[in-house]
């Protein structure tokens, strides 16, 4: 069975999703979960983009021991040098170089002819090989590049020392037949192609990313690049969980499989969704809430008689299982700890104590506490950031014939209390105006979303906000059975992240086109 290597770019291409901005600790947490998933290669970021990106890639490089850590770079010496600095502590570092090759990019973006593209890329690969044992080269927009020139570029990359050549469908333009043919042509026509690995990097603009990735595998691709939950630029990237389960379920057809620990997929998906604030659609393949739900009477009848009638993948395959341990306000610490272990959490004694205290608070408000309730509670603050402000109290006055008024009390890191009141167009607007006055921060609310974490009238509500300030974008998250409290917590969380990012020097990124 041929092994397909998995190149995860959730931390780089995934973070380019609009509204997503991961801090260093969040990147490390996701990277460590990707290690548990047994991803082969982790693209941690684009070090030359900003000092914050360089520091985050370096932190991931220090934390990851069982996967190759990769930094992206343009075909420029200064980008390669930034990646060298970021990856200096990596156990197994790799540089990912790219340069556009399609006619439209050569003419309008690079202002280069074919020969200049070849010479620039060759010089960059040779320079990179002085410092990196592994170099991947990507001809950006390969899908729209002339096939004979793409063969020429690939041959040059092999001669220059690239260990992987990646073929990106940068704008999601290809169909499976076309994309598969690129790999078939390269395999048949490029001298020395057996010396390297061929990789596929697909975008989902036409909804064909997974299909194109599978077509590449059928025609000789050794590696698939993608993201968890399919997040990424515009319509996103290839969903790695979809590729992995397609290979697993149709082994007789593909004769290939990944090395992923499939039972870690559900947990990885939830973590990425939580930290990025990108909600997984209910009908998303593999990890959507409805992926294993059956409402049709005909389907339910078939499932009761034989699961395989309507279920080609079992929930257990990706790490989902029905809970048998119901927790409530009378549950003890031992039962709670066992539940955490059952859900896959490895917490310190201090973290368990904090989580148990929050669990008891919630159990006083709810009869039964579900697995999702527990996940929401303990995940809300697992990645700690310096809290410049902590929400102490909130009071809201609202009536359909009166102007909403909110009073908030925040405690600063130094212990000072800041209490302010404000009016607003609605209760949430009043709360946010009061928090702005209390913190002294001038921010723009770019996005506000709310969802129910669990079911029923006593369900936990989760609020996600995105704030903007001077070109810096941050997200915040808050959870509570009271949606106004959740809204306030999310806003304060985002303000704390903004202050932390400002102090750490992570600001606006270079506005460059990436693969």
Q: Are strands 405-412 and 93-100 parallel, antiparallel or unpaired?
A: unpaired
Residue 323 has pLDDT above 50, yes or no: no
> How far is Cα 248 from Cα 312, in angstroms, rounded to an integer?
11
Binned at pLDDT 50, 70 and 90, residue 247 comes out as very high
Residue 395 has pLDDT above 60, yes or no: yes
Q: The tokens 């031992």 sit on which residue?
A: 334
**Residue 477 vs residue 174, higher pLDDT:** 174
The two most distant CA atoms of the chain are separated, in Å, by 78
Binned at pLDDT 50, 70 and 90, residue 124 comes out as very high
6-18 pLDDT, tens digit each: 999 999 999 988 7
40-68 pLDDT, tens digit each: 999 999 999 999 899 999 999 999 999 99
338-378 pLDDT, tens digit each: 778 777 677 788 888 888 887 887 777 766 677 777 777 77
Residue 192 has pLDDT above 50, yes or no: yes
> How far is Cα 359 from Cα 327, in angstroms, rounded to an integer?
9
Q: Which of 163-172, 274-283, 416-425 has the lowest mean pLDDT?
A: 274-283
Q: Which helix (H) or strand (E) holds 475?
A: strand 472-480
> How far is Cα 389 from Cα 411, in angstroms, rounded to an integer?
5
| pLDDT recorded at residue 360 | 82
Contact present, 248 and 317 (Cβ < 8 Å) = yes
Per-residue pLDDT, averaged over 254-264, amounts to 97
Question: Exposed, middle or buried: residue 229 (CB in 10 Å: 0-12, 13-18, 19+)?
Answer: buried
Binned at pLDDT 50, 70 and 90, residue 293 comes out as low
| pLDDT recorded at residue 408 | 96
Three-state DSSP at 167 gives strand
Q: Are strands 223-226 and 444-452 parallel, antiparallel or unpaired?
A: unpaired
Of all residues in the chain, what percent carry a pLDDT higher than 70?
A: 89
| pLDDT recorded at residue 337 | 82
Structural tokens at position 232: 């990424």
- Nearest of 22, 4, 148, 12 to residue 504 by alpha carbon: 22
> How far is Cα 170 from Cα 121, in angstroms, rounded to an integer?
18
Contact present, 11 and 45 (Cβ < 8 Å) = yes
Half-sphere exposure of 342 (CA within 13 A, CB side): 18
Of all residues in the chain, what percent carry a pLDDT higher than 90?
A: 65
Contact present, 328 and 322 (Cβ < 8 Å) = no
Per-residue pLDDT, averaged over 446-472, amounts to 82
| pLDDT recorded at residue 382 | 56
Three-state DSSP at 452 gives strand
Binned at pLDDT 50, 70 and 90, residue 302 comes out as low
Residue 208 has pLDDT above 70, yes or no: yes
Binned at pLDDT 50, 70 and 90, residue 130 comes out as very high
- Nearest of 6, 73, 3 to residue 39 by alpha carbon: 6
| pLDDT recorded at residue 380 | 61
> How far is Cα 109 from Cα 111, in angstroms, rounded to an integer?
6
Q: Which helix (H) or strand (E) holds 499?
A: helix 483-504
Residue 456 has pLDDT above 80, yes or no: no
| pLDDT recorded at residue 333 | 78
Residue 153 has pLDDT above 60, yes or no: yes
| pLDDT recorded at residue 324 | 47
Binned at pLDDT 50, 70 and 90, residue 503 comes out as confident
Residue 300 has pLDDT above 60, yes or no: no
Q: Which of 92-101, 203-212, 300-309, 417-426 has the lowest mean pLDDT?
A: 300-309
Mean pLDDT of the chain: 89
What sign does the CA torsion over 124, 130, 132, 133 have? positive
**Domains located in the chain, CATH noted:** 2-276 (3.20.20.70), 389-504 (3.30.160.270)
Residue 406 has pLDDT above 60, yes or no: yes
What sign does the CA torsion over 336, 340, 342, 347 have? negative
Contact present, 226 and 209 (Cβ < 8 Å) = yes
Three-state DSSP at 50 gives coil
Binned at pLDDT 50, 70 and 90, residue 472 comes out as confident
Contact present, 362 and 461 (Cβ < 8 Å) = no
**Residue 213 vs residue 367, higher pLDDT:** 213
Binned at pLDDT 50, 70 and 90, residue 495 comes out as very high
Q: Could you tell me where the beta strands, DSSP code E, fall in 413-470?
A: 417-423, 444-452, 461-469
Terminal CA-CA length for the chain = 30
Structural tokens at position 378: 């303990």
Per-residue pLDDT, averaged over 311-330, amounts to 73
């Amino acid at each position: 069975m041929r092994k397909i290597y998995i190149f995860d770019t959730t931390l780089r291409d995934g973070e380019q999703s609009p509204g997503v901005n991961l801090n260093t600790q969040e990147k490390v947490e996701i990277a460590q979960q990707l290690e548990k998933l047994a991803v082969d290669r982790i693209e941690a970021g684009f070090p030359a983009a900003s000092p914050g990106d360089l520091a985050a890639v370096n932190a991931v490089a220090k934390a990851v021991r069982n996967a190759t850590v990769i930094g992206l770079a343009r075909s420029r010496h200064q980008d390669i040098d930034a990646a060298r600095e970021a990856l200096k502590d990596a156990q197994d570092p790799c540089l990912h170089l790219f340069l556009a090759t399609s006619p439209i990019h050569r003419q309008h973006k690079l202002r280069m002819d074919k020969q200049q593209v070849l010479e620039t890329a060759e010089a960059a690969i040779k320079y990179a090989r002085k410092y990196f044992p592994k170099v991947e080269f990507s001809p950006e927009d390969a899908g729209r590049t002339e096939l004979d020139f793409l063969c020429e570029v690939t041959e040059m990359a092999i001669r220059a020392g690239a260990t992987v050549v990646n073929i990106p469908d940068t704008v999601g333009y290809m169909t499976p037949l076309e994309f598969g043919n690129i790999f078939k042509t390269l395999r048949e026509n490029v001298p020395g192609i057996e010396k390297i690995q061929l990789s596929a990097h697909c975008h989902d603009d036409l909804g064909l990313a997974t299909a194109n990735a599978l077509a590449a595998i059928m025609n000789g691709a050794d590696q698939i690049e993608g993201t968890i939950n399919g997040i990424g630029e515009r319509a996103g990237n290839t969903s790695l969980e979809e590729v992995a389960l397609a290979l697993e379920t149709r082994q007789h057809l593909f004769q290939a499989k990944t090395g992923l620990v499939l039972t870690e997929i559900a947990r990885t998906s939830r973590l990425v969704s939580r930290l990025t604030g990108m909600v997984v659609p209910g009908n998303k393949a593999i990890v959507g809430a409805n992926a294993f739900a059956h409402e049709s009477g005909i389907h339910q009848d078939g499932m009761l008689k034989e699961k395989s009638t309507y279920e080609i993948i079992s929930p257990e395959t990706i790490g989902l299982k029905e809970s048998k341990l119901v927790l409530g306000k009378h549950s003890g610490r031992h039962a709670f700890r066992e539940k955490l272990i059952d859900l896959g959490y490895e917490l310190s004694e201090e973290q368990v104590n904090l989580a148990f205290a929050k669990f008891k608070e919630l159990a006083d408000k709810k009869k039964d506490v579900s697995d999702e309730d527990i996940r929401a509670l303990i995940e809300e603050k697992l990645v700690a950031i310096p809290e410049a402000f902590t929400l102490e109290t909130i009071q809201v006055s609202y009536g359909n014939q009166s102007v909403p008024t909110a009073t908030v009390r925040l405690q600063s890191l130094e212990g000072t209390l800041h209490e302010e009141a404000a009016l607003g167009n609605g209760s949430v607007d009043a709360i946010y105006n009061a928090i702005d006055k209390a913190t002294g921060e001038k921010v723009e609310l770019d996005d506000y979303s709310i969802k129910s974490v669990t079911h029923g009238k006593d369900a936990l509500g989760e609020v996600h906000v995105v704030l903007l300030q001077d070109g810096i974008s941050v997200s915040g998250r808050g959870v509570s059975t009271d949606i106004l409290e959740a809204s306030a917590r999310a806003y304060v969380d985002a303000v704390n992240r903004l202050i932390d990012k400002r102090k750490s020097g992570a600001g606006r990124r270079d506005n460059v086109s990436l693969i």
